[in-house]
Amino acid sequence: MDERDWTDRPLGEDDVLTLGSLEVRRQKIGPACLVTGDLTAAQTAFDQGAPVGLCGQMTPQAASVRIARDLALFPGGAVKPGWHDSFAVSDADGVYICLSLSGRGAKAALAQGTSVDLDAPSPSAAIQFAGVKALLTRRGDAYLLWVEAPMETYVTSFLRGIDDEAFD
Amino acid sequence: MSGWRHDTLGSTIDRNKPLAFTFDGQPLTGFAGDTVASALMAAGVQTVGRSFKYHRPRGLWGLGAEEPNAIFDITHNGYTRPNQRGTLVSLADGMEVRSVNTAPTAAKDRWGWLDRLHRFLPAGFYYKTFMAGGWMRWEPRIRALAGLGTLDPDHAPKGAAQINAKTPLMVIGSGPAGLAAARAAAERGQAVWLMEADAALGGSLRWRGGQIDGQDPQSFIDATRAAINAAGGRIFTGTTVWGAFDHRLFAAWQREPQRHWRIRADRVILAAGAIERPIWFANNDLPGVMSAEAALHGLRLFGALPGKQIVVTTANDSAYPVAFALAAAGVDVTIADARPEGPKADGVKIRRSATVTAAQGRTHVTGAVINGALQAADAILTAGGHTPSVHLWCQAGGKLDWNASRDALIPRPNTADMTVVGAANGSFGLRAALSEGHSAGDGHPPAPSANVEADAPYPIAPVRPDPALPGRQWVDLQNDVTLKDVGLAAREGFTSVEHLKRYTTLGMATDQGRTSNFGGLAAMAAQTGRTIPETGTTTYRPPFQPVPLTVLGGPRRCELFNPPKRLALESAHRDLGARFREYGGWLRPAVYGDGDEADLAQQGAATARKTVALFDASPLGKLEVIGPNAGQLLDFTGYVRMSSLNPGRARYGFMLRENGVIFDDGVVLRPAEDRWIVSASSSHVDGVRFMLEDARQDRLARKGVAIHDVTAAWTTLTATGPRARMMLENAGIPVPDMPHMGVVETALDDAALRIARVSFTGDLSYELSVPTHHADALRARLDRALAAVDGQWIGLESVMILRAEKGFILIGKDTDGITMPHDLGWGGPREKRADEYLGKRSLFTPEARSNNRRQLVGLTVDSAPLVTGAHLVPADGPRTSLGFVTSSYQSPVLGRPIALALLADGRARMGQTIGVFNDGTVVEATISPLCAFDPGGERLHG
């Protein structure tokens, strides 16, 4: 193919892709920041519960996502960027976009994107999805797939081709 | 073969639904429920393909994945699938079926004359014959003749979905043993996945019949299906489990719809059945010679029969029900049983102690020679015993033991992490299969009972190839290996089965040697005076049957194969007329506007030198390194010390690998006391982060420092050129007085704005970074101010010219896998730094100290721009490579070509003339300083 022929476009905020029994919605997310170091101390500073891990349920009180042993994505704004005794904070608005996957085809879509056992608990929400880094959490019945923003178009293109009936 | 369709028999076909299809262009008709193979047999097609080497006519032999002959390219619904086994493909209306390796058709193949040369083409002939003149001389011609199906790019199949799944129990095979296992487990509440390669459940129950618990097999199948569904299990038909891998990972190909499953199973029961062995006699490859089991399968399921006057040759009881069924269908049947005794055979002629020694016929069977006497026949069915399907068992590491009473190699218990039951375990009888399956599924006793004719165990007389028989006996039908070839291999010393396989190609065809391996192994054992267990088997490797590359490859191809990262402002750039290319993993504007790309790049570079140009530099890495130990970390991981950098300043540096070779270069900013930003090359961001993270975790134990990749959080637009500052002021952007390599953090439109006065062009440049959600506002603001200063947007092609004019390098382009910093003229830290840093010790090895290292220099030429990659050679004397051109452009501002090159001892040759060799031509160039434009740096600092 010609290297200029990438045709797809990113989703706008709140745009919805309906792909058979799978619904993909670009979730609006607020300010965010990356935090490394003592996450317990960061929880206090950010007034947050423990960061959720793989497929963890996100709530207003549990709105942070654990990426690695001492790295998490927290809601932004509460703490200034920089070093804070035992942890560091960086503004990270726009590093990730969040896709909500819902409907009967959501599990099929995830099974085609990742080999991770979604029923096995993991303190880290980090996965490989369709070959790229991502985070996976839940809100209610929907799965929230956090993808690095520059790969959003690729991931939505990948989702357009999934077989949503694989588990029917 | 005189195939025909019985008027009433055929349990799976729907005679009310005729289906039209073509075979090699010939219009034919079958019925819904047919396979392609059964439809061809019923239509009387005798030759379905040609053999691989001799192009001998070949007919249908088997009933499933073991089929060696009926291999087709099939076009249907706009897709062409090459090399499909006709026994596994359901017939569909409008199918175009073409034989493979034939020209123009299987029946009239113009390469059939090759068979007359068979005396000159024994096994291994090409290893000996085609040495003359070199293999490369012959290879293209042989390749043109060889091969099977043809790829059809106009009708390429779509990539299959790749699906990861897990199950507590997977049962592979839905014959009686598999059904019993699945049902027993499901009735205990286990969610079973039952995998069946055929289009329907039942395995041999579908054509062998019998009674289970006093009911017909279909009732047993239905009850099993209901139990699996009730327990939350899943049933896959038309799905082949083709590979067993570590940690109980199994790969399965589902054919309709096309899906590729990667299944992790907590427990596996293998009930893959067994394959009927052939019997060997002269001309045993003629169309009309086929497996007795396959004939019964064709009759019972499809009403398709291979002939009307049939000889059944056997040495065990399993062929008798076949003969009875054929006779009941109106066929004249003769059984030739090698044993002196056997079951009674009412309604069929039977000859005891009788063997078929040859098949008669030129293009198909016309007779069988039994004990030396010719008997008219239009088909010969062979029943030489059964070979358990142990491929998955062996792939999983299982071992085999020889069992003489069953005349088969069977799984040795507890050598692989699965349970094998039924015929795959050498238990060929229905009762034994049900019992083993039920037990493996942890069923409550009693196991289902069975009542079936000719149930094993029964006396089996081993049948082996007989080298004393005259004529050619085929051991491997698909790869044209004869018994004589096995003998030749033995005589030439290839007595190991692995050597036999490679020398003769026995068992290497796409049928995976299912019908040939045992015969070859038995023949080699006889030739060498060894037993079968002493001779051993070849290694079983995935796939169990050929899997299309479109299935393995999945949907990630074309746009999804190697997707680039996308800019936040991509749409805006497209609106500005950008033409995109991939640079370092990002899709970025190459040039803007219409017309020749090279001209546009030149024009953009000229504008940047004259007025001002804007480009999107967002992909440049932004790795924030924060904390009291950040300076210490950067000092260790960098070639240039960064801890001494003052806040508000930036410094250029390198990161080396442990071998001292440059991994990346870039500017490190220090916007605040406790915070650095590493501007890694756009393609090296992850690599640099990993190297920093390695040192953070190993050297600093994660204390006092953090690394955050916030590249995607910021959009960076760079204004470069003599009017850059003027344009920013016109745009209302407050630019404080700042020196070259100065950094400030300020605000614009209530959003953060970082201004860095760093330059990749050698001109006055400002990198403006804003949070990505403010990117378009900044872009619009700059865009409005651009016209007033006669500026323009430029793409990466112009930037490449500008940086090369200044001698600024691109890692990986102007450096290679051995370039060290002192090769670029950056020897200072190497000579002065006393502390440890990554790669330091490698900079002092004898190789690193060599005087003849390739060093980066500039080249000046009067002719056209040099070819990038062209070798540098001595201007006089013998031609030897001294290095190569790394970057070459026409400089619009200088009005002449410029080039950078890595040259052995380059700096010592400054001013000398050197040859530049490309495509047989040498042009002369003058070795010059790296920087061709503004060497004093007035524009940079102005």
Q: What pLDDT digit, counting tens, does each position of B158-171 carry?
A: 889 999 999 999 99
Task: Report the residue of chain B nearest A94, measured CA to CA.
Answer: B713
Dist. CA B266–CA A67, nearest whole Å = 29
Count of CB atoms situated within 10 Å of the CB of B543: 18
| CA-based radius of gyration for chain B | 37
Dist. CA B338–CA B347, nearest whole Å = 19
Kindly state the percentage of chain B with pLDDT values over 90. 87
pLDDT in tens, B39-73: 999 999 999 999 988 999 999 999 999 999 999 99
CA B759: distance to chain centroid? 44
Dist. CA A48–CA A41, nearest whole Å = 10
Question: What does the pLDDT read at residue A64?
Answer: 96
Most confident of B448-452, B511-515, B852-856: B852-856
Q: Is residue B443 a contact partner of residue B420, using CB atoms and an 8 Å limit? A: no
- CA-based nearest distance B263→chain A, Å: 10
pLDDT at position B145 over 80: no
pLDDT in tens, A98-148: 999 999 999 999 999 999 999 998 999 999 999 999 999 999 999 999 999
Residue at B539: amino acid letter: T
CA B677: distance to chain centroid? 40
Q: Which two tokens stand for residue B668?
A: 């490190």
pLDDT at position B156 over 60: yes
A residues 115-134 near B, CB within 8 Å?
115-117, 130-131
pLDDT in tens, B660-691: 999 999 999 999 999 999 999 999 999 999 99
Dist. CA B591–CA B603, nearest whole Å = 10
pLDDT at position B705 over 70: yes
pLDDT at position B1 over 50: no
pLDDT in tens, B557-581: 888 888 999 999 999 999 999 999 9
pLDDT tier, A4 (very low <50, low <70, confident <90, very high otherwise): low
Q: CB-side exposure of B119: number of CA atoms within 13 Å?
A: 2
| β partners of residue A135 | A126, A146
Q: What string of DSSP letters covers B592-625?
A: ESSS-HHHHHHHHHHHHHHS-EEEE-TTS--EEE
pLDDT at position A10 over 90: no
Helix (H) or strand (E) holding B938: helix B938-941
Any A CB within 8 A of B566 CB: yes
- CA-based nearest distance A12→chain B, Å: 11
Pick the closest to residue A166 from B242, B163, B235, B555 (CA basis).
B163
Using alpha carbons only, what angle is made at residue B860 by residues B856 and B863, rounded to the nearest 5 degrees? 135
pLDDT at position A77 over 90: no
Contact A90 B560 (CB under 8 A): no
Any A CB within 8 A of B168 CB: no
Q: Is residue B177 a contact partner of residue B433, using CB atoms and an 8 Å limit? A: yes
Q: Which two tokens stand for residue B491?
A: 């005589």
Question: What does the pLDDT read at residue B557?
Answer: 85
Dist. CA B408–CA B425, nearest whole Å = 10
Dist. CA B705–CA A87, nearest whole Å = 8
Q: Is residue B642 a contact partner of residue B635, using CB atoms and an 8 Å limit? A: yes
- Mean pLDDT of the region A40-50: 95
Task: Report the residue of chain B nearest A119, measured CA to CA.
Answer: B166
Dist. CA B352–CA B335, nearest whole Å = 8
Q: Which residues of B touch A92 (CB under 8 A)?
A: 708, 710, 713
Count of CB atoms situated within 10 Å of the CB of B644: 11
pLDDT tier, B132 (very low <50, low <70, confident <90, very high otherwise): confident
Pick the closest to residue B652 from B660, B641, B663, B662 (CA basis).
B641
Question: What does the pLDDT read at residue B918?
Answer: 94
Q: Which residues of B touch A79 (CB under 8 A)?
A: none
Which of B164, B705, B711 is the closest to A114 by Cβ?
Answer: B164
pLDDT at position A8 over 80: no
Any B CB within 8 A of A158 CB: yes
Dist. CA B389–CA B135, nearest whole Å = 38
Q: Is residue B599 a contact partner of residue B784, using CB atoms and an 8 Å limit? A: no
Which tops the pLDDT comparison, A3 or B343?
Answer: B343
pLDDT at position B451 over 90: no
pLDDT in tens, B478-530: 999 999 999 999 999 998 989 999 999 999 888 888 999 999 999 999 989 99
pLDDT in tens, B353-390: 999 999 999 999 999 999 999 999 999 999 999 999 99
Dist. CA B832–CA B834, nearest whole Å = 6
Q: Which of A142-146, B282-286, B310-314, B444-448 has the lowest mean pLDDT?
A: B444-448
Q: Which residues of B touch A1 (CB under 8 A)?
A: 558-559
Contact B771 A93 (CB under 8 A): yes
Any B CB within 8 A of A151 CB: yes
Helices (H) and strands (E) in chain B, counts: 25, 52
Q: Is residue A125 a contact partner of residue A136, using CB atoms and an 8 Å limit? A: yes
B residues 729-768 near A, CB within 8 Å?
752
Residue B291: strand, helix, or coil:
strand
Task: Report the residue of chain B nearest A73, measured CA to CA.
Answer: B708
User: B458 — phi, psi (to 5°)?
Assistant: -140, 165
Dist. CA B537–CA A59, nearest whole Å = 60
Any B CB within 8 A of A62 CB: no
Pick the closest to residue B211 from B420, B41, B16, B448 (CA basis).
B448
| β partners of residue A126 | A135
pLDDT in tens, B13-47: 999 999 999 999 999 999 999 999 999 999 999 99
Q: Which residues of A touch B621 (CB under 8 A)?
A: none
Count of CB atoms situated within 10 Å of the CB of B876: 7
User: A55 — phi, psi (to 5°)?
Assistant: 60, 20
Any A CB within 8 A of B586 CB: yes
pLDDT at position A2 over 70: no
Contact A90 B708 (CB under 8 A): yes
pLDDT at position B554 over 60: yes
pLDDT in tens, B874-884: 998 889 999 99
Question: What does the pLDDT read at residue B143?
Answer: 79
Q: Is residue B535 a contact partner of residue B524, using CB atoms and an 8 Å limit? A: yes
How high is the mean pLDDT of chain B? 94
**ipTM above 0.90 for this complex:** yes
Count of CB atoms situated within 10 Å of the CB of B671: 17
pLDDT at position B905 over 70: yes
Question: What does the pLDDT read at residue A1?
Answer: 45
Question: What does the pLDDT read at residue A145?
Answer: 98
Which of A34, A96, A165 is the closest to B708 by Cβ?
Answer: A34
Count of CB atoms situated within 10 Å of the CB of B43: 18
Q: What string of DSSP letters covers chain A?
A: --TT-----PPPTT-EEEETTEEEEEE----EEEEEE-HHHHHHHHT--PPB-TTPBPBTTB--EEEETTEEEEESSSS-SEEETTEEEEE-TTTEEEEEEESTTHHHHHHHH--S-TTS--S--EEEETTEEEEEEEETTEEEEEEEGGGHHHHHHHHHT--TTTT-
CA B441: distance to chain centroid? 35
Residue B75: strand, helix, or coil:
strand
- CA-based nearest distance B343→chain A, Å: 49
Which tops the pLDDT comparison, B457 or A37?
Answer: A37
Q: Which two tokens stand for residue B379?
A: 């088909």
Q: How many contacts (CB atoms, under 8 Å) link A and B?
A: 131
| β partners of residue B482 | B474
Which of A37, A93, A163 is the closest to B259 by Cβ?
Answer: A163
Contact B710 A8 (CB under 8 A): no
Q: What string of DSSP letters covers B321-383?
A: HHHHHHHHTT-EEEEEESSS-----TTSEEETT--EEEEE-SSS--EEEETTEEEE-SEEEEE
Dist. CA B648–CA B737, nearest whole Å = 12
Contact B163 A92 (CB under 8 A): no
Question: How far is CA B854 from each of CA B443, B851, B873, B884, B917, rounded to the nearest angstrom?
Answer: 74, 9, 13, 9, 17
The DSSP code for B154 is G
- CA-based nearest distance A122→chain B, Å: 17
Task: Report the residue of chain B nearest A166, measured CA to CA.
Answer: B163
Q: What string of DSSP letters covers B666-705?
A: EEEEEEETTEEEE---GGGHHHHHHHHHHHHHHTSTT-S-
Q: Which two tokens stand for residue B825?
A: 């003229």
How high is the mean pLDDT of chain A? 92
Dist. CA B616–CA B484, nearest whole Å = 71
Contact A91 B771 (CB under 8 A): yes
Pick the closest to residue B220 from B271, B174, B188, B171 (CA basis).
B174
First to last CA, chain A: 34
Which of A5, A83, A95 is the closest to B710 by Cβ?
Answer: A95
Contact A150 B627 (CB under 8 A): no
Q: Which residues of A touch B571 (CB under 8 A)?
A: 9
pLDDT at position A165 over 50: yes
